Each structure stands twice: as structure tokens, then as C-alpha cells.
Amino acid sequence: MALFWPSDSTLQGFAERVIIVLMARAKKTLRCPTCRTLVLERNEDFPFCSDRCRRIDLGKWASGDYKVSAPIQDPDLLEELARSGRDKPSDDEVN
């Protein structure tokens, strides 16, 4: 009967899974915003679990699925936006 001894990479993967489980039990659980998988802070794609999830999130920003919904509070910026809206020709003026 042969005994099975896991390779170093298997042990490292197991250790990472143990760390993830311990993090989940900790006060704050870190999860990928795209797929909700538990994520380690030392992950190179943090706060995402993978480059795929990072790109999915970027695509949502680029397509307009995500928006910053806070109103503009800067009075100077509001004035500038109002002026730029008045400077544009309307559809009636163009035709």
C-alpha cells in the first residue's frame, strides 16, 4: 500500500484555503465585488479574485452600468456646466 504525500503546491493551495476560511470567520470578510468569492488582501488582483472579475467590473463602468449618483456640490462647477449648456446650439438653431 502506497502512502500519498501532497506536493508543495497542493499544501500551499490548502494553506490558502485555510486562510480564506479563517478570514471568513473574522470580523470583516473581504469578497470580490463581481462574484462574491472570498479574497485575500495579498492577492495581486485585490479587491477582485481574478483578472477576469476585474475586467468585468471595468466593462460595467465603461458601459455606464455603474454611475456616481452624488449631486454636484461645487458652485463653480455648477456655473461652468450651466454656461456650457447655454453655449451649445440647440437643435432648432442647427437646422
29-75 pLDDT tens trace = 689 999 999 888 888 888 999 999 999 999 999 998 888 777 777 88
Give the residue among 40, 67, 41, 44 at the shortest CA–CA distance from 54: 44
64 Rama class: left (phi>0) / alpha (psi -120 to 50) / beta: left
Prediction pTM value: 0.46
Q: Alpha-carbon torsion 10, 13, 19, 22, what sign?
A: negative
Average pLDDT of the residues in 73-92: 74
Predicted confidence (pLDDT) at residue 18 exceeds the cutoff of 80: no
Whole-number average pLDDT of the chain: 78
Which pairs with CB-CB distance under 8 Å and at least 24 residues apart come from 54-63? 57/33
39 CB burial (10 A radius; 0-12, 13-18, 19+)? buried
CATH of domain 31-66: 3.30.50.10
pLDDT mean over 63-90: 77
